[in-house]
């Protein structure tokens, strides 16, 4: 699981001045929890962030119908700089048995070895979840007084920096790989401490949760080592 995301942007009449001070985002967490009334499983966090560097604005930050060359391009840069705000939503991604990493049967790398192949498709609830946050972002930006809003269509996740899954955490060895302390059920003294224990793609960046779980696993390893229990070589 990569983790799904949705972004909707808008232009406002007055300058936003988001480049001043510490760069951060204002988050809305009202929709983090799953609500059966929505008709799908999942939730997410919405974060308003608008600041782009001059290079980012010039290359990919202008509104979709803005000119990309000449005098019109220069005019759009002047008018849109410091007036854009984007709501980025980080939403649940559900695991699917068909999503996997394996070796490609045909493609070879530079050394003649089978290349890595990633197969991933969204769960139907993921698509509904992303569309919910897309529409909610449009509503919020319009209510805030935006003079122009653009919202790319929901699409499949094609990659990301926060890979999760494949070594599910759980109590039952038949349905999980590691226990609550990240110790492998089937391999003695092996601990797997990273994002692979996540059972869904989550509703936020996973780094802090992974760090917290790593601290807990470390404390468990130290505690059991002092008690004389055989430990991992990881």
- Angle at the Cα of 184 from the Cα atoms of 119 and 98, rounded to 5 degrees: 15
Exposure b/e, 145-180, CB count within 10 A at least 16 = b: ebebbbbeebeebeeeebbbbbbebeeeeeebbbbe
Cβ-based burial of 98 (10 A; exposed 0-12, middle 13-18, buried ≥19)? exposed
Q: How far apart are CA 174 and CA 176, in angstroms?
A: 6
Q: Are 221 and 191 in contact (CB under 8 A)?
A: yes
Task: Give the single-character DSSP code of 175.
Answer: T
Is-catalytic flag, 162?
yes
Catalytically annotated residue among 83, 123, 162, 182? 162
Question: To which H or E segment does residue 225 belong?
Answer: helix 207-226
User: How far apart are the C-alpha atoms of 98 and 206, rounded to whole Å?
Assistant: 23
Element (H, E) at 129: helix 124-143
Which residues participate in catalysis according to the annotation? 162
């Amino acid at each position: 699981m990569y983790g799904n995301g949705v972004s909707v942007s808008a232009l406002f009449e007055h300058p936003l001045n988001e480049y001043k001070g510490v760069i951060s985002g204002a988050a809305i967490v009202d929709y983090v929890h799953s609500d059966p009334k929505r008709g799908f499983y999942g939730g997410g966090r919405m974060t308003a962030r608008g600041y782009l560097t001059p290079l980012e604005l010039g290359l990919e930050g202008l509104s979709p119908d803005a000119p990309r060359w000449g005098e019109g391009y220069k005019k759009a840069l002047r008018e849109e700089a410091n007036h854009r705000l984007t709501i980025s939503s980080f939403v649940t991604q559900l695991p699917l048995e068909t999503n996997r990493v394996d070796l490609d049967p045909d493609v070879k790398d530079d050394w003649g070895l089978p290349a890595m192949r990633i197969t991933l498709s969204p769960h139907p609830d993921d698509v509904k979840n992303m569309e919910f946050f897309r529409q909610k972002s449009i509503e919020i930006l319009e209510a805030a007084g935006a003079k122009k809003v653009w919202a790319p269509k929901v699409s499949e996740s094609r990659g990301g920096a926060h890979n999760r899954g494949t070594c599910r955490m759980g109590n039952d060895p038949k349905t999980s790989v590691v226990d609550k302390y990240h110790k492998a059920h089937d391999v003695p003294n092996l601990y797997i401490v990273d994002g692979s224990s996540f059972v869904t793609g989550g509703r936020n960046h996973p780094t802090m949760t992974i760090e917290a779980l790593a601290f807990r696993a470390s404390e468990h390893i130290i505690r059991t080592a002092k008690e004389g229990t055989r430990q991992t070589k990881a």
